[in-house]
Amino acid sequence: MAYTLNLYLKAAFLMALLGAILVGIGYLIGGLMIAFIFLIMAFIVNLIFYFFSDSMVLYSTGARIVSEAEAPRLHRIVERVAAKAGIKKPKVAIVNSPQPNAFATGRGPGHAVVAATTGLLTLMNDDELEAVFGHELGHVVNRDVLVATIAAAMASAITWLAYVVFWIVLARGRNGGEIALAFATYLLAPLTASLIQLAISRSREYLADYTGAKLTGKPQSLISALTKIENYIMSGVKLDAPQTTASLWIANPFRKGITSDDVLEWFSTHPSTKKRIERLKQVAKEMGIYIM
């Protein structure tokens, strides 16, 4: 309970920080109404993605919805995990790729799609597959597409406002100090918003790991699956999908050589596999399962 509370509090703090930056830039322009207008505009743009995210993601990743007759093993496992989560069984899709990976998308428990690559289906045993889809349905249960949409809308609004501030100050020909402040805002506000957005993404991955481990009762299988996926990604096995989909997958399919102590992790959509495994071992211990 304390673990999940900390994750929720962290996400709430990061969202509040995005809001504070948005309000601050609105103040620089001279009115909070401007900031609010930009936020509404950003929400409209991102809500379009939110409502059509499943079809857009399926198209961009090359995922194909499959029937039970086509993929009985995958359907059986997804159905079992969905029953444990107490939600409607999502649609099931397959991506033709040798890299083992998986994702979930959709508006929520009633409108979800989960997908696995052919590499994942080949490499994983049934327990590992169940653990992977426990993680993915954790995203569905926790409504992470909605959380990501809100964070993206706020980050977009901040970026647009930072550009507006810079050009307004330049057009008015104000003194060098104001121009320098506007330029700093132009550079740092979007970067800061992006870093916060990525931190939210990483915190939701930890939460999905936790939720999946609790749903399936198999944290050791999720550790095993993440280790296998990591090894394949680091060995150079490619996934043919846009890099903009990186945050969707259970492991970043485009990551190269980021360690748990690397500052570059700040710019990553996912925590390092090493950190995820360390936390999963703590979760397992809470469940009375001891993993070396």
**How do the domains of the chain map onto residue ranges?**
2-286
68 annotated active-site = no
**Mean pLDDT calculated for residue range 189-205:** 87
pLDDT at 71: 97
Side-by-side strand order, sheet with 102-108: 64-65, 91-95, 111-117, 102-108
In one-letter notation, the amino acid at residue 139 is H
Report which of residues 120 and 53 the model is more confident about: 120
Region of residue 241 (phi > 0: left; psi between -120 and 50: alpha; otherwise: beta): beta
E strand residue ranges, the chain: 64-65, 91-95, 102-108, 111-117
Q: How many angstroms separate the CA atoms of 134 and 225, rounded?
A: 12
Q: Is a pLDDT exceeding 60 seen at residue 260?
A: no
pTM of the model: 0.82
Q: How many angstroms separate the CA atoms of 270 and 15, rounded?
A: 18
Q: Is a pLDDT exceeding 80 seen at residue 173?
A: no
Mean pLDDT for all residues in the chain: 84
Q: Is a pLDDT exceeding 70 seen at residue 91?
A: yes
Q: What are phi and psi of 249, to 5 degrees?
A: -75, 160
Question: What percentage of the chain carries pLDDT values higher than 90?
Answer: 45
**Mean pLDDT calculated for residue range 257-270:** 68
Residue identified by tokens 């008015």 is 172
Residue identified by tokens 């740092």 is 188
Q: Is a pLDDT exceeding 80 seen at residue 138?
A: yes
From the list 128, 130, 136, 230, the catalytic residue is 136
